[in-house]
Amino acid sequence: MDKQTIGIIGAGKLGTTLARLGTQRGFTINIGSRHSVQDLKWVIDTMAPGAVTMSTPDVIKHSDIIILAIPLSHYRDLDPAALAGKIVLDATNYWKEVDGTVNTISSMKESSSEVIQAYLQDSLVAKAFNHMGYHDIEIEVDRHPEVRRAMAYATDHDEIRPVVEAVLTQFGFDPLDLGPLRFGLYLEPGSPLFGEAIPRAEFVDKINRIYSTPFGAKILSERGQQVV
């Protein structure tokens, strides 16, 4: 599969890391944030040489695949019409230090990426790049070239699975399909999978044991059932 142009919305720790990794791996990367192009460009030229700084509307317009790397609580700043028809890789997580101590966006009954998909109703959303810290995303790729680290993803759109898998593979990871978006809950803060940069077999083993952990018990008590 040809490398498609990737647009990153959000130019903080995760956005600049993915921009750097992507350009190093031959992707055309467009990136934007709330800052003016002029203010952001020197940061991107330093942090992710080769990535193209644009306004957020231009990032959306000129990119095939969009990665969301903004605070989850800012998702309503996104323009659903502009993102209609785009593949959107939702890397956002509810992070109470940033998004507020009480999560009024997502819950054990609805993963945050389901909320994003409902908001971006005409986009093809996949949850991806969520469970690994930005430092691990960069370091672990090159540290274990022989045993790639699992990068789990979830989506309700079967037709984009090959594209998502190609992107994750080309970024240097072993893509692990969790199924529909609701299983993205397994990747969110509080889950034993959150923060993991481990090979596929270990990751799958942890998924299989998730309902014997406190996080799994919380899913059961709040949903009344497993994610099925």
Ligand X SMILES: NC(=O)c1ccc[n+]([C@@H]2O[C@H](COP(=O)([O-])OP(=O)(O)OC[C@H]3O[C@@H](n4cnc5c(N)ncnc54)[C@H](OP(=O)(O)O)[C@@H]3O)[C@@H](O)[C@H]2O)c1
Residues that bind ligand X (CB under 6 A): 9-15, 33-35, 56, 69-72, 74, 77, 91-93, 95, 129-130, 133-134
Tokens coding 110: 């609805």
CB of residue 144 to ligand X, shortest distance in Å: 18
Rounded to whole angstroms, the Cα distance separating 144 from 172 reads 10
| Residue whose pair of structure tokens reads 């959306």 in the numeric block | 60
Q: Give me the least distance between CB of 134 and ligand X, in Å please.
A: 4
Q: Cα–chain-centroid distance for residue 183?
A: 14
CA separation for the pair 30, 69 (Å, rounded): 13
Q: Which is nearer to ligand X, 31 or 219 (CB)?
A: 31
Q: How far is the CB of 190 from ligand X (least distance, A)?
A: 13
Residue type, 221: S
For ligand X, the closer CB: 106 or 124? 106
Phi and psi at residue 172, to the nearest 5°: 110, 10
Sheet of strand 52-53, all strands in order from the earlier edge strand to the far edge: 52-53, 29-32, 6-9, 65-68, 87-90, 124-127, 150-155, 174-177
Select the residue whose beta carbon is closest to ligand X and give its number. 12
Q: How far is the CB of 72 from ligand X (least distance, A)?
A: 5
Closer to ligand X by Cβ: residue 92 or 221: 92
- Residue with smaller CB distance to ligand X, 3 or 35: 35
Nearer to ligand X, 104 or 212 (CB): 104
In DSSP notation, 61-85 reads: HT-SEEEE-S-GGGGGGS-HHHHTT
Q: How far is the CB of 194 from ligand X (least distance, A)?
A: 9
DSSP state of 181: G
Residue 176's φ and ψ, nearest 5 degrees, are -125, 115
Q: Which is nearer to ligand X, 36 or 226 (CB)?
A: 36
Residue 41: CB minimum distance to ligand X, A: 13
51 within 8 A of 61, measured Cβ to Cβ: no
- Give min distance, CB of 56 to ligand X, in A: 5
d(CA 167, CA 173): 9
Beta strand 124-127 pairing with 87-90: parallel
Q: Considering the complex, state which of residue 45 and residue 217 has its C-beta at the smaller distance from ligand X.
A: 45
